[in-house]
Structure 1
Amino acid sequence: MEIWEKYTSGIKNTIFNSLNQNKDLKYWRDDMFSNIIIFIIPLSLIALIPSIIWAVDSGHYLMTFIDILCVLIIIMVGFKKGIKIEYRKLLFIANTYILSFFLLYYVGINSSLYLLASCFLSVFVYSFKNKYTPALLNLNISIIYILLYSFDFITIPDKNFKSNELFAVFSNLIFLSFLICILIPKLFNGLDDSFKESILHAKKIEKQNNLLKEITWIQSHVVRAPLSRLLAIADLLKNTNTTEEEKLFFLDNIIISSEELDDVIKEIILKSESVK
Protein backbone atom coordinates (compact mmCIF):
# COMPACT_ATOMS: atom_id res chain seq x y z
CA MET A 1 0.00 0.00 0.00
CA GLU A 2 2.86 2.37 0.78
CA ILE A 3 4.39 1.76 -2.65
CA TRP A 4 1.02 2.39 -4.32
CA GLU A 5 0.55 5.63 -2.37
CA LYS A 6 4.00 6.85 -3.39
CA TYR A 7 3.26 5.88 -6.99
CA THR A 8 -0.11 7.68 -7.11
CA SER A 9 1.17 10.76 -5.30
CA GLY A 10 4.13 10.92 -7.68
CA ILE A 11 1.86 11.02 -10.73
CA LYS A 12 -0.58 13.42 -9.06
CA ASN A 13 2.23 15.80 -8.12
CA THR A 14 3.71 15.64 -11.61
CA ILE A 15 0.43 16.28 -13.42
CA PHE A 16 -1.03 18.70 -10.89
CA ASN A 17 1.99 21.01 -11.08
CA SER A 18 0.35 22.57 -14.12
CA LEU A 19 -3.26 22.25 -13.02
CA ASN A 20 -5.82 24.92 -12.30
CA GLN A 21 -6.43 24.64 -8.58
CA ASN A 22 -9.93 26.11 -8.73
CA LYS A 23 -12.33 23.29 -7.93
CA ASP A 24 -14.29 23.72 -11.15
CA LEU A 25 -15.20 21.32 -13.96
CA LYS A 26 -11.76 21.67 -15.57
CA TYR A 27 -10.12 20.70 -12.31
CA TRP A 28 -12.40 17.67 -12.05
CA ARG A 29 -11.63 16.55 -15.62
CA ASP A 30 -7.90 17.01 -15.07
CA ASP A 31 -8.12 15.02 -11.87
CA MET A 32 -9.92 12.23 -13.70
CA PHE A 33 -7.20 12.29 -16.36
CA SER A 34 -4.53 11.81 -13.71
CA ASN A 35 -6.50 8.87 -12.28
CA ILE A 36 -6.74 7.31 -15.75
CA ILE A 37 -2.96 7.55 -16.10
CA ILE A 38 -2.47 6.09 -12.62
CA PHE A 39 -4.39 2.92 -13.48
CA ILE A 40 -3.49 2.60 -17.14
CA ILE A 41 0.28 2.40 -16.54
CA PRO A 42 0.27 -0.84 -14.49
CA LEU A 43 -2.45 -2.34 -16.70
CA SER A 44 -0.40 -1.53 -19.80
CA LEU A 45 2.67 -3.17 -18.31
CA ILE A 46 0.64 -6.29 -17.52
CA ALA A 47 -0.78 -6.42 -21.06
CA LEU A 48 2.59 -5.72 -22.67
CA ILE A 49 4.12 -9.17 -22.08
CA PRO A 50 1.41 -11.31 -23.74
CA SER A 51 1.10 -8.73 -26.50
CA ILE A 52 4.82 -8.95 -27.29
CA ILE A 53 4.71 -12.75 -27.20
CA TRP A 54 1.78 -12.79 -29.64
CA ALA A 55 3.38 -10.23 -31.96
CA VAL A 56 6.72 -12.07 -32.08
CA ASP A 57 5.07 -15.45 -32.64
CA SER A 58 2.95 -13.95 -35.43
CA GLY A 59 5.92 -12.23 -37.02
CA HIS A 60 4.44 -8.75 -36.45
CA TYR A 61 7.65 -7.13 -35.26
CA LEU A 62 6.38 -3.63 -35.98
CA MET A 63 3.48 -4.32 -33.60
CA THR A 64 6.02 -5.27 -30.93
CA PHE A 65 7.76 -1.93 -31.40
CA ILE A 66 4.42 -0.06 -31.30
CA ASP A 67 3.39 -1.83 -28.08
CA ILE A 68 6.63 -0.92 -26.33
CA LEU A 69 6.55 2.64 -27.66
CA CYS A 70 2.97 3.22 -26.51
CA VAL A 71 3.74 1.97 -23.01
CA LEU A 72 6.80 4.22 -22.81
CA ILE A 73 4.72 7.20 -23.92
CA ILE A 74 2.12 6.50 -21.24
CA ILE A 75 4.87 6.30 -18.62
CA MET A 76 6.29 9.60 -19.88
CA VAL A 77 2.85 11.21 -19.68
CA GLY A 78 2.62 10.14 -16.05
CA PHE A 79 6.13 10.87 -14.81
CA LYS A 80 7.84 13.39 -17.10
CA LYS A 81 7.95 16.77 -15.37
CA GLY A 82 7.59 20.11 -17.10
CA ILE A 83 4.88 19.12 -19.59
CA LYS A 84 1.69 21.15 -19.62
CA ILE A 85 -1.48 19.26 -18.84
CA GLU A 86 -2.98 19.95 -22.27
CA TYR A 87 0.07 18.49 -24.01
CA ARG A 88 -0.08 15.44 -21.77
CA LYS A 89 -3.68 14.89 -22.80
CA LEU A 90 -2.94 15.31 -26.51
CA LEU A 91 -0.01 12.92 -26.23
CA PHE A 92 -2.21 10.41 -24.45
CA ILE A 93 -4.96 10.71 -27.07
CA ALA A 94 -2.51 10.37 -29.97
CA ASN A 95 -1.01 7.35 -28.26
CA THR A 96 -4.37 5.60 -27.88
CA TYR A 97 -5.28 6.22 -31.52
CA ILE A 98 -1.91 4.98 -32.80
CA LEU A 99 -2.25 1.79 -30.77
CA SER A 100 -5.86 1.35 -31.88
CA PHE A 101 -4.96 1.74 -35.55
CA PHE A 102 -2.16 -0.83 -35.45
CA LEU A 103 -4.27 -3.26 -33.45
CA LEU A 104 -6.97 -2.84 -36.06
CA TYR A 105 -4.45 -3.46 -38.82
CA TYR A 106 -2.79 -6.53 -37.32
CA VAL A 107 -5.51 -8.10 -35.18
CA GLY A 108 -8.62 -7.28 -37.19
CA ILE A 109 -11.90 -5.48 -36.81
CA ASN A 110 -12.53 -6.90 -33.37
CA SER A 111 -10.05 -4.25 -32.29
CA SER A 112 -12.47 -1.55 -33.44
CA LEU A 113 -13.57 -1.43 -29.81
CA TYR A 114 -10.24 0.25 -29.08
CA LEU A 115 -11.20 3.03 -31.47
CA LEU A 116 -14.48 3.48 -29.63
CA ALA A 117 -12.64 3.54 -26.30
CA SER A 118 -10.16 6.07 -27.72
CA CYS A 119 -13.06 8.28 -28.79
CA PHE A 120 -14.64 8.09 -25.35
CA LEU A 121 -11.40 8.84 -23.50
CA SER A 122 -10.58 11.70 -25.86
CA VAL A 123 -13.92 13.43 -25.34
CA PHE A 124 -13.79 12.69 -21.63
CA VAL A 125 -10.40 14.25 -20.87
CA TYR A 126 -9.95 16.92 -23.55
CA SER A 127 -12.04 19.84 -24.80
CA PHE A 128 -11.69 19.96 -28.57
CA LYS A 129 -12.50 23.12 -30.52
CA ASN A 130 -14.49 20.87 -32.82
CA LYS A 131 -16.29 18.45 -30.53
CA TYR A 132 -16.61 15.92 -33.37
CA THR A 133 -12.83 15.56 -33.82
CA PRO A 134 -12.57 12.07 -32.22
CA ALA A 135 -15.53 10.82 -34.25
CA LEU A 136 -14.02 12.24 -37.44
CA LEU A 137 -10.76 10.48 -36.61
CA ASN A 138 -12.64 7.20 -36.29
CA LEU A 139 -14.42 7.92 -39.56
CA ASN A 140 -11.13 8.51 -41.39
CA ILE A 141 -9.50 5.44 -39.85
CA SER A 142 -12.51 3.35 -40.85
CA ILE A 143 -12.34 4.62 -44.43
CA ILE A 144 -8.60 3.91 -44.61
CA TYR A 145 -9.12 0.41 -43.25
CA ILE A 146 -11.93 -0.34 -45.71
CA LEU A 147 -9.82 0.92 -48.61
CA LEU A 148 -6.84 -1.16 -47.52
CA TYR A 149 -9.08 -4.19 -47.24
CA SER A 150 -10.76 -3.52 -50.59
CA PHE A 151 -7.40 -3.42 -52.39
CA ASP A 152 -6.12 -6.50 -50.53
CA PHE A 153 -3.44 -4.64 -48.63
CA ILE A 154 -4.71 -6.32 -45.47
CA THR A 155 -6.65 -9.46 -44.71
CA ILE A 156 -9.10 -9.98 -41.89
CA PRO A 157 -7.78 -12.66 -39.53
CA ASP A 158 -11.25 -14.19 -39.21
CA LYS A 159 -11.73 -16.01 -42.52
CA ASN A 160 -15.46 -16.35 -41.96
CA PHE A 161 -15.92 -12.61 -41.77
CA LYS A 162 -17.92 -11.21 -44.70
CA SER A 163 -17.26 -7.86 -46.36
CA ASN A 164 -20.79 -6.57 -45.73
CA GLU A 165 -20.27 -7.27 -42.03
CA LEU A 166 -17.16 -5.12 -42.23
CA PHE A 167 -19.25 -2.13 -43.30
CA ALA A 168 -21.80 -2.89 -40.60
CA VAL A 169 -19.13 -2.92 -37.88
CA PHE A 170 -17.60 0.37 -38.96
CA SER A 171 -21.00 1.98 -39.47
CA ASN A 172 -21.88 1.20 -35.88
CA LEU A 173 -18.47 2.38 -34.74
CA ILE A 174 -18.93 5.73 -36.47
CA PHE A 175 -22.49 6.08 -35.20
CA LEU A 176 -21.45 5.41 -31.59
CA SER A 177 -18.45 7.72 -31.93
CA PHE A 178 -20.60 10.64 -33.03
CA LEU A 179 -23.11 9.80 -30.31
CA ILE A 180 -20.34 9.98 -27.71
CA CYS A 181 -19.16 13.31 -29.12
CA ILE A 182 -22.69 14.70 -28.81
CA LEU A 183 -23.76 13.36 -25.43
CA ILE A 184 -20.63 13.68 -23.29
CA PRO A 185 -20.14 17.42 -23.99
CA LYS A 186 -23.80 17.95 -23.11
CA LEU A 187 -23.20 16.13 -19.85
CA PHE A 188 -20.15 18.27 -19.13
CA ASN A 189 -22.03 21.46 -19.97
CA GLY A 190 -24.70 20.50 -17.46
CA LEU A 191 -22.05 19.72 -14.85
CA ASP A 192 -20.28 22.98 -15.62
CA ASP A 193 -23.49 24.92 -14.99
CA SER A 194 -23.92 23.08 -11.70
CA PHE A 195 -20.33 23.82 -10.71
CA LYS A 196 -20.73 27.51 -11.53
CA GLU A 197 -23.98 27.68 -9.60
CA SER A 198 -22.35 26.00 -6.61
CA ILE A 199 -19.40 28.39 -6.75
CA LEU A 200 -21.70 31.43 -6.93
CA HIS A 201 -23.73 30.06 -4.03
CA ALA A 202 -20.57 29.50 -1.99
CA LYS A 203 -19.37 33.04 -2.73
CA LYS A 204 -22.76 34.42 -1.72
CA ILE A 205 -22.63 32.55 1.58
CA GLU A 206 -19.07 33.76 2.15
CA LYS A 207 -20.16 37.34 1.50
CA GLN A 208 -23.07 36.96 3.91
CA ASN A 209 -20.78 35.54 6.58
CA ASN A 210 -18.39 38.45 6.16
CA LEU A 211 -21.27 40.91 6.50
CA LEU A 212 -22.52 39.15 9.62
CA LYS A 213 -19.02 39.29 11.10
CA GLU A 214 -18.85 42.99 10.28
CA ILE A 215 -22.25 43.59 11.88
CA THR A 216 -21.15 41.68 14.97
CA TRP A 217 -18.00 43.79 15.19
CA ILE A 218 -20.02 47.01 14.83
CA GLN A 219 -22.42 45.92 17.54
CA SER A 220 -19.65 44.96 19.93
CA HIS A 221 -17.33 47.92 19.31
CA VAL A 222 -18.86 50.86 17.45
CA VAL A 223 -22.20 50.78 19.27
CA ARG A 224 -20.43 50.44 22.58
CA ALA A 225 -18.74 53.88 22.45
CA PRO A 226 -21.81 56.20 22.25
CA LEU A 227 -23.79 53.86 24.49
CA SER A 228 -21.08 54.00 27.16
CA ARG A 229 -21.08 57.79 27.02
CA LEU A 230 -24.86 57.90 27.44
CA LEU A 231 -24.69 55.57 30.43
CA ALA A 232 -21.91 57.64 31.97
CA ILE A 233 -23.83 60.90 31.50
CA ALA A 234 -26.98 59.35 32.94
CA ASP A 235 -25.00 58.18 35.98
CA LEU A 236 -23.53 61.65 36.49
CA LEU A 237 -26.91 63.32 36.24
CA LYS A 238 -28.38 60.86 38.69
CA ASN A 239 -25.69 60.79 41.35
CA THR A 240 -24.15 64.29 41.31
CA ASN A 241 -25.35 67.82 41.78
CA THR A 242 -24.90 69.67 38.52
CA THR A 243 -25.25 73.29 37.57
CA GLU A 244 -27.42 74.49 34.72
CA GLU A 245 -24.32 75.01 32.61
CA GLU A 246 -23.19 71.44 33.26
CA LYS A 247 -26.66 70.13 32.45
CA LEU A 248 -26.57 71.92 29.09
CA PHE A 249 -23.15 70.45 28.44
CA PHE A 250 -24.38 66.96 29.29
CA LEU A 251 -27.47 67.49 27.15
CA ASP A 252 -25.34 68.43 24.15
CA ASN A 253 -23.28 65.28 24.66
CA ILE A 254 -26.45 63.20 24.96
CA ILE A 255 -27.65 64.57 21.63
CA ILE A 256 -24.28 63.94 19.98
CA SER A 257 -24.04 60.40 21.34
CA SER A 258 -27.66 59.68 20.41
CA GLU A 259 -27.11 60.86 16.85
CA GLU A 260 -23.93 58.80 16.64
CA LEU A 261 -25.79 55.76 17.96
CA ASP A 262 -28.60 56.39 15.48
CA ASP A 263 -26.11 56.47 12.59
CA VAL A 264 -24.59 53.20 13.75
CA ILE A 265 -28.01 51.55 14.00
CA LYS A 266 -28.88 52.76 10.50
CA GLU A 267 -25.62 51.28 9.20
CA ILE A 268 -26.41 47.96 10.88
CA ILE A 269 -29.89 47.94 9.36
CA LEU A 270 -28.46 48.73 5.92
CA LYS A 271 -25.94 45.90 6.15
CA SER A 272 -28.57 43.53 7.52
CA GLU A 273 -30.79 44.19 4.51
CA SER A 274 -27.94 43.22 2.18
CA VAL A 275 -27.62 39.81 3.88
CA LYS A 276 -30.04 37.99 1.61
Structure 2
Amino acid sequence: MNIWNKYTSIIRDNILTSSQENKDLKYWRDDMFSNTIIYIIPLSVIALIPSVIWAFEEKLYLMVVVDILAVFLAIITGIKKEIKIKKRKLLFIGTVYTLSSFLIYFVGLNSTLYLLAACFLATFIYTFKNQYAPALFNVYISILYIYLYYLDLTPPHNINFKSNELFAVFSNLIFLSFLVCSLVPKLFNGLDESFKKSIHHTKKIEKQNEVLKEITWIQSHVVRTPLSRLMAITNLLKENDNTEEEKTFLIDNIIVSSKELDQVIKEIVTKSESIGSSEN
Protein backbone atom coordinates (compact mmCIF):
# COMPACT_ATOMS: atom_id res chain seq x y z
CA MET A 1 0.00 0.00 0.00
CA ASN A 2 2.85 2.38 0.81
CA ILE A 3 4.45 1.64 -2.56
CA TRP A 4 1.18 2.37 -4.35
CA ASN A 5 0.69 5.62 -2.42
CA LYS A 6 4.23 6.70 -3.23
CA TYR A 7 3.72 5.81 -6.88
CA THR A 8 0.44 7.74 -7.17
CA SER A 9 2.01 10.67 -5.33
CA ILE A 10 4.86 10.84 -7.85
CA ILE A 11 2.48 10.80 -10.82
CA ARG A 12 0.17 13.42 -9.34
CA ASP A 13 3.04 15.69 -8.30
CA ASN A 14 4.46 15.53 -11.82
CA ILE A 15 1.16 16.20 -13.58
CA LEU A 16 -0.79 18.40 -11.17
CA THR A 17 1.52 21.36 -10.70
CA SER A 18 1.43 23.51 -7.57
CA SER A 19 0.04 26.44 -9.58
CA GLN A 20 -3.26 24.61 -9.99
CA GLU A 21 -4.71 25.70 -6.67
CA ASN A 22 -8.13 26.70 -7.98
CA LYS A 23 -10.04 23.50 -8.53
CA ASP A 24 -11.80 24.62 -11.67
CA LEU A 25 -12.74 22.53 -14.69
CA LYS A 26 -9.18 22.57 -16.02
CA TYR A 27 -7.92 21.17 -12.74
CA TRP A 28 -10.43 18.32 -12.80
CA ARG A 29 -9.56 17.45 -16.40
CA ASP A 30 -5.89 17.38 -15.43
CA ASP A 31 -6.80 15.30 -12.40
CA MET A 32 -8.66 12.88 -14.66
CA PHE A 33 -5.57 12.67 -16.85
CA SER A 34 -3.31 11.95 -13.87
CA ASN A 35 -5.64 9.18 -12.69
CA THR A 36 -5.68 7.72 -16.20
CA ILE A 37 -1.88 7.59 -16.21
CA ILE A 38 -1.79 6.17 -12.68
CA TYR A 39 -3.88 3.15 -13.66
CA ILE A 40 -2.83 2.72 -17.26
CA ILE A 41 0.88 2.23 -16.48
CA PRO A 42 0.52 -0.92 -14.32
CA LEU A 43 -2.32 -2.26 -16.48
CA SER A 44 -0.34 -1.76 -19.68
CA VAL A 45 2.68 -3.50 -18.16
CA ILE A 46 0.45 -6.48 -17.29
CA ALA A 47 -1.13 -6.49 -20.77
CA LEU A 48 2.29 -6.22 -22.41
CA ILE A 49 3.29 -9.79 -21.50
CA PRO A 50 0.55 -11.71 -23.38
CA SER A 51 0.65 -9.17 -26.20
CA VAL A 52 4.38 -9.67 -26.75
CA ILE A 53 4.04 -13.45 -26.53
CA TRP A 54 1.27 -13.41 -29.14
CA ALA A 55 3.24 -11.08 -31.43
CA PHE A 56 6.31 -13.33 -31.23
CA GLU A 57 4.23 -16.39 -32.01
CA GLU A 58 2.77 -14.62 -35.04
CA LYS A 59 6.23 -13.30 -35.97
CA LEU A 60 4.92 -9.74 -35.80
CA TYR A 61 8.14 -8.25 -34.51
CA LEU A 62 7.16 -4.69 -35.38
CA MET A 63 4.11 -5.11 -33.14
CA VAL A 64 6.43 -6.21 -30.33
CA VAL A 65 8.44 -3.02 -30.73
CA VAL A 66 5.30 -0.87 -30.84
CA ASP A 67 3.86 -2.52 -27.72
CA ILE A 68 7.05 -2.04 -25.73
CA LEU A 69 7.48 1.51 -26.99
CA ALA A 70 3.88 2.37 -26.08
CA VAL A 71 4.34 1.14 -22.51
CA PHE A 72 7.66 2.98 -22.26
CA LEU A 73 6.08 6.24 -23.45
CA ALA A 74 3.20 5.81 -21.00
CA ILE A 75 5.73 5.47 -18.19
CA ILE A 76 7.64 8.51 -19.43
CA THR A 77 4.38 10.49 -19.54
CA GLY A 78 3.82 9.88 -15.84
CA ILE A 79 7.30 9.55 -14.35
CA LYS A 80 9.41 12.05 -16.28
CA LYS A 81 9.70 15.39 -14.51
CA GLU A 82 9.75 18.90 -15.98
CA ILE A 83 7.38 18.10 -18.84
CA LYS A 84 4.53 20.54 -19.30
CA ILE A 85 1.14 18.96 -18.90
CA LYS A 86 0.12 19.94 -22.44
CA LYS A 87 3.07 17.98 -23.84
CA ARG A 88 2.28 15.05 -21.55
CA LYS A 89 -1.26 14.91 -22.86
CA LEU A 90 -0.20 15.15 -26.49
CA LEU A 91 2.44 12.46 -25.95
CA PHE A 92 -0.14 10.19 -24.35
CA ILE A 93 -2.76 10.82 -27.04
CA GLY A 94 -0.20 10.25 -29.79
CA THR A 95 0.90 7.01 -28.15
CA VAL A 96 -2.66 5.71 -27.84
CA TYR A 97 -3.51 6.56 -31.45
CA THR A 98 -0.30 5.00 -32.74
CA LEU A 99 -0.83 1.82 -30.76
CA SER A 100 -4.47 1.65 -31.88
CA SER A 101 -3.49 2.05 -35.53
CA PHE A 102 -0.94 -0.75 -35.36
CA LEU A 103 -3.40 -3.00 -33.54
CA ILE A 104 -5.97 -2.50 -36.29
CA TYR A 105 -3.37 -3.21 -38.93
CA PHE A 106 -1.94 -6.36 -37.34
CA VAL A 107 -4.87 -7.71 -35.30
CA GLY A 108 -7.82 -6.70 -37.44
CA LEU A 109 -11.08 -4.81 -37.29
CA ASN A 110 -11.83 -6.02 -33.78
CA SER A 111 -9.27 -3.48 -32.60
CA THR A 112 -11.31 -0.50 -33.82
CA LEU A 113 -12.54 -0.30 -30.24
CA TYR A 114 -9.10 1.03 -29.33
CA LEU A 115 -9.54 3.91 -31.77
CA LEU A 116 -12.89 4.78 -30.23
CA ALA A 117 -11.29 4.65 -26.77
CA ALA A 118 -8.48 6.88 -28.03
CA CYS A 119 -11.03 9.38 -29.31
CA PHE A 120 -12.88 9.29 -26.01
CA LEU A 121 -9.74 9.79 -23.93
CA ALA A 122 -8.42 12.55 -26.18
CA THR A 123 -11.70 14.46 -25.98
CA PHE A 124 -11.85 14.12 -22.22
CA ILE A 125 -8.31 15.11 -21.28
CA TYR A 126 -7.38 17.66 -23.96
CA THR A 127 -9.03 20.75 -25.40
CA PHE A 128 -8.52 20.83 -29.16
CA LYS A 129 -8.94 24.00 -31.22
CA ASN A 130 -11.12 21.88 -33.48
CA GLN A 131 -13.34 19.82 -31.20
CA TYR A 132 -13.71 17.17 -33.90
CA ALA A 133 -9.95 16.61 -34.25
CA PRO A 134 -9.99 13.17 -32.50
CA ALA A 135 -12.82 12.02 -34.78
CA LEU A 136 -10.93 13.29 -37.82
CA PHE A 137 -7.90 11.28 -36.71
CA ASN A 138 -10.11 8.20 -36.80
CA VAL A 139 -11.36 9.16 -40.25
CA TYR A 140 -7.81 9.42 -41.59
CA ILE A 141 -6.78 6.12 -40.00
CA SER A 142 -9.89 4.42 -41.38
CA ILE A 143 -9.25 5.73 -44.88
CA LEU A 144 -5.62 4.64 -44.68
CA TYR A 145 -6.58 1.14 -43.58
CA ILE A 146 -9.20 0.79 -46.33
CA TYR A 147 -6.65 2.01 -48.86
CA LEU A 148 -4.09 -0.56 -47.68
CA TYR A 149 -6.78 -3.22 -47.70
CA TYR A 150 -7.65 -2.63 -51.35
CA LEU A 151 -3.96 -2.64 -52.24
CA ASP A 152 -3.64 -6.01 -50.48
CA LEU A 153 -1.08 -4.53 -48.12
CA THR A 154 -2.78 -5.68 -44.92
CA PRO A 155 -1.64 -8.87 -43.16
CA PRO A 156 -3.11 -12.08 -44.63
CA HIS A 157 -5.28 -12.90 -41.63
CA ASN A 158 -7.26 -9.69 -42.22
CA ILE A 159 -8.08 -10.35 -45.87
CA ASN A 160 -11.06 -12.55 -44.97
CA PHE A 161 -13.14 -9.46 -44.15
CA LYS A 162 -15.70 -8.57 -46.77
CA SER A 163 -15.88 -5.05 -48.15
CA ASN A 164 -19.32 -4.39 -46.68
CA GLU A 165 -18.08 -5.52 -43.25
CA LEU A 166 -15.10 -3.24 -43.58
CA PHE A 167 -17.22 -0.19 -44.39
CA ALA A 168 -19.79 -1.08 -41.73
CA VAL A 169 -17.17 -1.26 -39.00
CA PHE A 170 -15.39 1.95 -39.95
CA SER A 171 -18.59 3.89 -40.61
CA ASN A 172 -19.80 3.00 -37.12
CA LEU A 173 -16.43 3.94 -35.68
CA ILE A 174 -16.53 7.32 -37.40
CA PHE A 175 -20.14 7.92 -36.37
CA LEU A 176 -19.42 7.14 -32.72
CA SER A 177 -16.23 9.22 -32.81
CA PHE A 178 -18.07 12.30 -34.04
CA LEU A 179 -20.82 11.64 -31.50
CA VAL A 180 -18.24 11.60 -28.70
CA CYS A 181 -16.63 14.79 -30.01
CA SER A 182 -20.03 16.47 -30.15
CA LEU A 183 -21.36 15.48 -26.74
CA VAL A 184 -18.29 15.57 -24.50
CA PRO A 185 -17.51 19.29 -25.12
CA LYS A 186 -21.16 20.11 -24.37
CA LEU A 187 -20.82 18.20 -21.13
CA PHE A 188 -17.67 20.10 -20.21
CA ASN A 189 -19.22 23.44 -21.16
CA GLY A 190 -22.09 22.72 -18.81
CA LEU A 191 -19.70 21.67 -16.06
CA ASP A 192 -17.57 24.74 -16.67
CA GLU A 193 -20.60 26.98 -16.24
CA SER A 194 -21.49 25.17 -13.03
CA PHE A 195 -17.92 25.51 -11.74
CA LYS A 196 -17.92 29.24 -12.47
CA LYS A 197 -21.24 29.73 -10.71
CA SER A 198 -20.03 27.69 -7.76
CA ILE A 199 -16.79 29.67 -7.50
CA HIS A 200 -18.71 32.96 -7.80
CA HIS A 201 -21.16 31.84 -5.12
CA THR A 202 -18.30 30.76 -2.83
CA LYS A 203 -16.55 34.10 -3.23
CA LYS A 204 -19.81 35.91 -2.51
CA ILE A 205 -20.30 33.91 0.68
CA GLU A 206 -16.70 34.57 1.73
CA LYS A 207 -17.24 38.29 1.18
CA GLN A 208 -20.45 38.20 3.20
CA ASN A 209 -18.67 36.37 6.00
CA GLU A 210 -16.00 39.06 6.08
CA VAL A 211 -18.69 41.74 6.37
CA LEU A 212 -20.42 39.80 9.14
CA LYS A 213 -17.12 39.53 11.00
CA GLU A 214 -16.69 43.30 10.68
CA ILE A 215 -20.22 43.87 11.99
CA THR A 216 -19.58 41.52 14.90
CA TRP A 217 -16.36 43.33 15.74
CA ILE A 218 -18.10 46.73 15.55
CA GLN A 219 -20.91 45.55 17.79
CA SER A 220 -18.57 44.07 20.37
CA HIS A 221 -15.96 46.84 20.40
CA VAL A 222 -16.91 50.07 18.65
CA VAL A 223 -20.51 50.22 19.93
CA ARG A 224 -19.39 49.45 23.45
CA THR A 225 -17.27 52.61 23.82
CA PRO A 226 -19.99 55.28 23.40
CA LEU A 227 -22.55 53.04 25.09
CA SER A 228 -20.37 52.60 28.17
CA ARG A 229 -19.77 56.34 28.21
CA LEU A 230 -23.52 57.02 28.10
CA MET A 231 -24.17 54.58 30.93
CA ALA A 232 -21.47 56.21 33.05
CA ILE A 233 -22.81 59.72 32.35
CA THR A 234 -26.38 58.75 33.25
CA ASN A 235 -25.13 57.34 36.54
CA LEU A 236 -23.37 60.62 37.24
CA LEU A 237 -26.52 62.59 36.41
CA LYS A 238 -28.43 60.62 39.02
CA GLU A 239 -26.32 62.25 41.67
CA ASN A 240 -28.03 65.31 43.14
CA ASP A 241 -24.90 67.21 44.05
CA ASN A 242 -23.93 68.06 40.45
CA THR A 243 -23.43 71.72 39.74
CA GLU A 244 -25.04 73.38 36.73
CA GLU A 245 -21.68 73.53 35.02
CA GLU A 246 -21.13 69.79 35.61
CA LYS A 247 -24.61 68.98 34.34
CA THR A 248 -23.97 70.99 31.18
CA PHE A 249 -20.69 69.17 30.67
CA LEU A 250 -22.34 65.79 31.14
CA ILE A 251 -25.20 66.64 28.78
CA ASP A 252 -22.71 67.77 26.13
CA ASN A 253 -20.96 64.44 26.49
CA ILE A 254 -24.28 62.64 26.14
CA ILE A 255 -24.86 64.45 22.86
CA VAL A 256 -21.36 63.60 21.60
CA SER A 257 -21.67 59.96 22.63
CA SER A 258 -25.15 59.72 21.12
CA LYS A 259 -23.91 61.08 17.80
CA GLU A 260 -20.98 58.69 17.92
CA LEU A 261 -23.31 55.78 18.64
CA ASP A 262 -25.66 56.91 15.87
CA GLN A 263 -22.75 56.95 13.41
CA VAL A 264 -21.73 53.44 14.43
CA ILE A 265 -25.29 52.17 14.01
CA LYS A 266 -25.48 53.75 10.55
CA GLU A 267 -22.24 51.99 9.62
CA ILE A 268 -23.68 48.67 10.80
CA VAL A 269 -26.87 49.27 8.81
CA THR A 270 -24.84 50.13 5.69
CA LYS A 271 -22.79 46.95 5.99
CA SER A 272 -25.94 44.91 6.60
CA GLU A 273 -27.55 46.39 3.49
CA SER A 274 -24.45 45.53 1.47
CA ILE A 275 -24.95 41.87 2.43
CA GLY A 276 -28.56 42.01 1.30
CA SER A 277 -27.67 43.66 -2.01
CA SER A 278 -24.93 41.11 -2.75
CA GLU A 279 -27.43 38.27 -2.37
CA ASN A 280 -29.62 39.69 -5.14
Aligned partner letter, 1:184: V
3-state DSSP class of the match of 1:265?
A: helix
Aligned residue for 1:14? 14
Deviation, 1:151, is 1.1
> What is the letter of the counterpart of residue 26 of structure 1?
K
- The residue number in structure 2 matching 1:110 is 110
Distance 1:153 1:7 in 2: 43
Contact 1:18 1:84 in 2 (8 A): no
Identity score, percent: 67
Single out whichever of 227-236 and 152-161 deviates more from structure 2: 152-161
Q: What is the CA–CA distance in structure 2 between the aligned matches of 1:183 and 1:257, rounded to whole Å? A: 66
Q: How does 1:1-276 map to 2 (within 5 A)?
A: 1-17=1-17, 20-155=20-155, 157-158=157-158, 160-239=160-239, 241-276=241-276
Write the distance in 1 (CA, Å) between the matches of 2:121 and 2:105. Answer: 21
Whether contact under 8 Å (1:227, 1:257) holds in the other structure is yes
Deviates more, 1:56-65 or 1:12-21: 12-21
Residues 147-169 of structure 1, C-alpha deviations (whole Å, 9 max, x = no match) = 11111111462554211110111
User: Distance between the aligned counterparts of 2:256 and 2:39, measured in 1?
Assistant: 72
Q: Over residues 102-153 of structure 1, what are the superposed CA-to-partner deviations in whole Å (9 max), with x where a residue is unaligned? A: 1111111111111000000000101111100000000011011111111111
Distance in 2, Cα, partners of 1:174 & 1:230: 83
**Aligned counterparts of 1:92 and 1:127: Cα–Cα separation in 2:** 14
Aligned equivalents of 2:89, 2:233: Cα separation in 1: 74
Q: Distance in 2 between matches of 1:240 and 1:149?
A: 116
**For 1:21 and 1:92, how far apart are their aligned partners in 2?**
24
How many angstroms does 1:17 deviate by? 2.6
The Cα of 1:47 is off from its aligned counterpart by 0.7
Cα distance change of structure 1 residues 261 and 113 upon mapping to structure 2, 3 Å threshold: same
TM-score, with length taken from structure 2:
0.95
Alpha-carbon distance, 1:240 to partner: 5.5
Partner SS state of residue 238, structure 2? helix
Q: Report the TM-score, using the length of structure 1 for normalisation.
A: 0.97
Aligned equivalents of 1:145, 1:19: Cα separation in 2: 43
Task: Name the CA distance, whole Å, in 1 between partners of 2:19 and 2:110.
Answer: 37
CA contact (8 A) 2:55 2:61 kept: yes
The one-letter amino acid paired with 1:165 is E
Stretch moving more, 254-263 or 17-26 = 17-26
* 1:241 Cα offset (Å): 1.7
Q: Deviations over 1:2-32 (max 9, x none)?
A: 2211111121112123662211111111111
Unmatched segments (≥5 aa) in structure 2: none
| Contact preservation (8 Å) 1:19, 1:27 | no
Structure 2: which amino acid aligns with 1:224? R
The letter of the residue matching 1:61 is Y
CA RMSD in angstroms, aligned pairs only: 1.3
TM-fit CA distance, 1:175: 0.4
Unaligned runs of 5+ in 1: none
Structure 1 segments (4+ residues) deviating >3 Å: none
- 1:19–1:30 CA contact under 8 A, matched in 2: no
C-alpha distance in 2, partners of 1:55/1:71?
15
